[in-house]
Chains A and B, each alone.
Chain A
Amino acid sequence: MGVLLKKLFRTIWNTRGQFLAVTAVVAVGITVYIAMTTSYYNLNHSRDEFYRDNNFADYYFHVVRAPEQITRQIESVPGVAAVNGRLQKDVPLVREGDQKATARITSYPVPMEGINRIQLLSGRLFERYPQGGGVEVLVDPQFFTANRLSFNDTISIVSEGRKVSLSVVGTGIGPEFTFAMKDAATLMPDPETFGLVMMPLNQAQQALNLPGQINQVIIKLSPGADEKEVAGRIEELLEPYGNLSSYPLKKQLSHAILQGELDGLKAVSGFMPFIFLSIAAAIQIVMLGRMIRGQRLQIGIMKAMGYNNRQIITYYTSYSLSSSLMGALLGSVAGIGLASVISEVYAEFFNLPRAIGGVNTTSVITGFALSLSVGAAAGLAASRRVTKVNPAEAMRPEPPKNAGKIFLERLPRLWELLDSTWKMSLRTALRNRGRFALMLVGVTFSVGLLVMSLFASDSIDYMINKQYFQDQRYDYLVRFASPLKENDLLDISRIEGVIKAEPVFEIPVKIHFQGKTQEDSLQGIPRDSTLKRLENQEGRPLSIPGEGLLISEKTADKLGARVGDRVEIETLLGTGPSRRASVKVVQINRQLVGGGSYVSLEQANQVIQERRLASGVMLKVDPGRFVALEEELNDMNNVSSISSRQKELDNFNKNLEAMVYSIAIMVIFAVVMGFAIVYNSSVISFAERKRELASLRVLGFTSREVSGLLLKENLFQSILGVAIGLPFGRLMSQGYINAVSTDLFTIPVVIYPLTYFWSALGGVFFIAVAHLLAVRGVKRLDLVDVLKNRD
């Protein structure tokens, strides 16, 4: 094999352009594979460990309030392995001279034990009764950093109208807070205005004025326990204490978001490498096929000397194996690098205390195995034809290629319009079916990938525009600690700069229909509201009915409720008795972010059997008065939170930076793949027809005219690829969205015309560059060569 090995290296060197192009596609496939699977593995592993070490709860029960001792009864329910009773409540957080924030108070036993334990990250744990009094708390690290806190700083919350000072002694995080977002209606976490505050149960009871009480029960199930049955039993036990909601682990917000990310990663880590490796295999097959056809004479000579088929097949397969091996090497290095970048982004995004980085040997080994098997398969597939070479025949020149009519010629009128160079280009393009298919599929996928890389920003832009500018027309949403009479809102509407103020009543509810139940948020807004726009599933605006419910699409789907059905609304206010009311579904409303079912303000009041109450107010404000208004609102005691459109947008945009990088990487990958295909295809086409093209030069064609012939051929295939690639990209985007969609959010697939334009332009770019590089040789065509005998 020594001489053959030398020949192999020389062949690789002589075809280095094509070799590198195919290697690059393999490398990209392996990079994506290793980066995605490693990130998946790391994130998954880190999460699982964190969940296990801190005993992540299996089921959550929220009640209005219940005595601490109730946990003893729950403990004895068969199937319950451990129980923890705790207090959790969102309260306003006062920040001197700054926007109000929300603190989510969560209580813990001291010493730290049981379910959903805190992992201490810095400082020390709180004590039940600190020396010198006061209340010690831990906060989450993002909040700690965003608010520039240091140990022993004091933060103030407002509870039951009292201001309570808390001393920060450290940072920590629990497994239920891996993604610290207030609720599903928030687009992105904002650690500056939402913080997790962890404190001992006794202190929480005192701060929230709930002595001896808890409002949440979390449990761990015994192995093999029937989740539904156990949950049912516990709900019965908790019934007297005002069951607000209960949900299993998989519906827990931060877990669901993390799981969504993992599912997305998994889908992408299968799909993307598949595309790249398939394309790489196709290029290898076409390349080797061409090489074997070109070296027919050599193969004939080798056979005549006594080499057998197996040796010759091994030789040609080694070529594709070499490019696979090199691709795997490069891909592993790049993949490990990319994985660490992705892991860093995840570490920033999710509160996972375990280091997320690290090399995953399994995925590197699998990457190599994948790459090499693709190379071997492609090599064997292409070199099968070696067996058909008969040494005696191989030494005679090949007869002219078979030619025949192509389908376009069945349209004589069109066909007659073409000149002979077009006829030639079209026939060549369509006759080489394998190469034509490769080029078409390759360009289609590359352009599709370009669309898919770019579409996310369109969709998000669309969402933002829709959410923040079309549907939500207010600048601020102010929420009150406790509902106010509508008349009291006058104080706010009189603040200088307020152009319009509309009351809103938000009530957490359960909606029941035909034995099914769904949690939702009931939103009461004025019938003539101009600050909130709703639309139906067809995108037509809805007006608030005097009576009846504009149910949210998500809830309607879950319940199977339709327009005209009557549903039962149960309030979950947490204070006062739970109310039930039967309401008719008048319309279904569709919203991109969050949700909520809408009624008139009057009807919201009717449901809780009150009159003229509001829980918040929407404000349209003169932009010049934003700062002054915020200051004034922050000073108001009953204001629990202020959401500012501008701040939410800023926060959102800050979080999008990571996306820009991932888009850039995807675009590069797509262009590399497209380039490699067009380049290889053109080089092969050029090499195969050198003699033909040189004879055209002898006939008097200029170099430019000969390149033009090749361009026509390429253009035909590429434009078709681009044309199919654009809608195909939309399909891939849809597929991707379906893979990453969760119950919590669905991103609409919106692609602006400009994105199609850019993708097409990107396609044209890589086609043009590859073409130009591939036809450089036209200028150097050896005219004299044509006159010599055939090889």
Chain B
Amino acid sequence: MSKNVLMRLDHITRTYIMGEVRVEALKETSLDIYAGELLVILGPSGSGKSTLLNIVGGMDLPSEGSVHYAGDELSRAGDARLTRYRRNEVGFVFQFYNLIPDLTAVENVELAANLVETPLPASGMLKEVGLADRMGHFPSQLSGGEQQRVSIARAMVKNPRLLLCDEPTGALDHQTGKLVLSLLAGINRDRGSTVIIVTHNTDISAMAHRVVRMRSGEIAEIIENSQPVPPERIDW
């Protein structure tokens, strides 16, 4: 696997002022994200993993330090630049799917497709996630796993270089969760997208190329995994 750095986080710190308390959610953290890797960020709640994901996803900016994406500095970007970044480069999969209840599955995907100039075909995306026969269904008519698959299709239809998944299996049962994970692994393998999965579930890390272990706002260790296990074979 080539080691092209897609994103570089350089000594970033993120502090929040919560009322009168200063919370250091991220302390002087540095991380390179390589193009085409499957990265799992692992850690208990409060470890700073969500903050890291927010910064990588262009939803938040570091208080200190710099973020470079494909050579551009993001850490000084304004709202418009960040929106453009999210729009063109990032696909997002949420724990609770966050589908638009008033749009059918295919329309939810189209909604995202409309944002970019050369989207992938929306119906093709839904076929890829195995929902060819559910396209006209509304979110309320879909199971949790199906909703999450629509959400993946929605994220992927923009053909983003970076797919960010925040606890994608957190609200799903075991069997469905595995299905979703194999989809993500497939996307990483077949399309070459960089996939970042944030989770507190240690077992999932077996599928990653690299695992970033977070603790108390810091990266505790980075483990390289030369032999990733396909998700179908993972158990938790």
Contact = CB atoms under 8 A, between A and B. Distances in A.
Contacts of A421: 111, 114
Interface stretch (A303-311, A527-535, A690-698): A690-698
A701 interface: yes
A402 B138 CA distance: 8
Interface string B118-136: 0000000000000000000
B112 to A, nearest CB: 5
Nearest to B116: A700
B60 A700 contact: no
A431 B101 CA distance: 11
Contact of A700 (B87, B96, B98): B87
A401 B53 contact: no
A695 B98 CA distance: 7
Given A699-B154, A787-B166, A427 B96 contact: no
Nearest to B109: A420
A420 B110 contact: yes
Given A420-B111, A784-B60, A700 B86 contact: yes
Given A786-B98, A787-B53, A790-B96, A698 B59 contact: yes
A424 B103 contact: yes
Contacts of A702: 80, 83
B102 A431 contact: yes
Contacts of B80: 702
Given A700-B86, A701-B115, A790-B96, A420 B54 contact: no
A784 B92 CA distance: 12
Given A699-B86, A700-B158, A401 B101 contact: yes
Interface string B91-110: 01011101111110001101
A624 to B, nearest CB: 69
Nearest to B160: A700
Interface string A263-299: 0000000000000000000000000000000000000
Contact of B138 (A403, A783, A789, A790): A403
A784 to B, nearest CB: 5
A700 B90 contact: yes
Contacts of A644: none
A787 B95 contact: yes
Contacts of A401: 101-102, 140
A419 interface: yes
A230 B142 CA distance: 85
B94 A787 contact: yes
Contacts of B95: 787, 789
B58 to A, nearest CB: 9
Given A423-B107, A783-B59, A403 B115 contact: no
Interface string A696-729: 1111111100000000000000000000000000
Contacts of A427: 102-103
A786 B98 CA distance: 8
Contacts of B114: 419-421
A303 B108 CA distance: 37
A427 B101 CA distance: 9
Interface in A751-791: 783-784, 786-790
A623 interface: no
Contacts of B217: none
B47 interface: no
Contacts of A786: 94, 98
Contacts of A697: 83, 86
B79 interface: yes
Contacts of B154: 699
Contacts of A397: 96
A244 to B, nearest CB: 76
Interface residues of B, number: 40
B88 interface: yes
Contacts of B36: none
A431 B166 CA distance: 30
Contacts of B90: 700
Contacts of B102: 401, 403, 423-424, 427-428, 431
B139 interface: yes
Given A400-B139, A400-B140, A424 B100 contact: yes
B57 interface: yes
A174 B191 CA distance: 98
B98 A420 contact: no
Contacts of A420: 103, 107-108, 110-111, 114
Contacts of B92: 695, 698-699
A790 B95 CA distance: 10
A399 interface: yes
Contacts of A696: 100, 111
Residue among B111, B141, B166 with most chain A CB within 10 A: B111
B94 A695 contact: yes
B54 A784 contact: yes
Contact of B140 (A403, A428, A784, A789): A403
A161 interface: no
Given A424-B107, A691-B98, A699 B115 contact: yes
Contact of B112 (A404, A431, A699): A699
A701 B112 CA distance: 9
A310 B209 CA distance: 58
A699 B98 CA distance: 11
Contact of A787 (B50, B84, B158): B50
A778 to B, nearest CB: 11
A787 B99 CA distance: 13
Interface string A218-238: 000000000000000000000
Contacts of A402: 138, 140
Nearest to B166: A787
A692 B100 contact: yes
Interface string B163-186: 000100000000000000000000
Contact of B99 (A400, A703, A788, A790): A400
A691 B140 CA distance: 16
19 contacts: A400-B138, A402-B138, A403-B102, A403-B138, A419-B110, A420-B103, A420-B108, A424-B100, A424-B102, A424-B111, A427-B102, A695-B94, A695-B98, A700-B112, A701-B83, A702-B83, A703-B79, A787-B54, A788-B50
Interface of B: 50, 53-54, 57, 59-60, 79-80, 83-84, 86-88, 90, 92, 94-96, 98-103, 107-108, 110-112, 114-115, 138-141, 147, 154-155, 158, 166
Across the A-B interface, give the 8 residue pairs with the lowest CB-CB distance, nearest first.
Answer: A700-B87, A403-B138, A695-B98, A427-B102, A783-B59, A700-B86, A401-B101, A420-B111
Interface of A: 397, 399-404, 419-421, 423-424, 427-428, 431, 691-692, 695-703, 783-784, 786-790
Given A397-B96, A695-B98, 20 more contacts: A400-B99, A400-B101, A401-B101, A402-B138, A402-B140, A403-B101, A404-B138, A419-B110, A419-B114, A420-B111, A423-B107, A424-B103, A424-B111, A427-B102, A698-B57, A699-B112, A699-B115, A783-B59, A784-B50, A790-B96
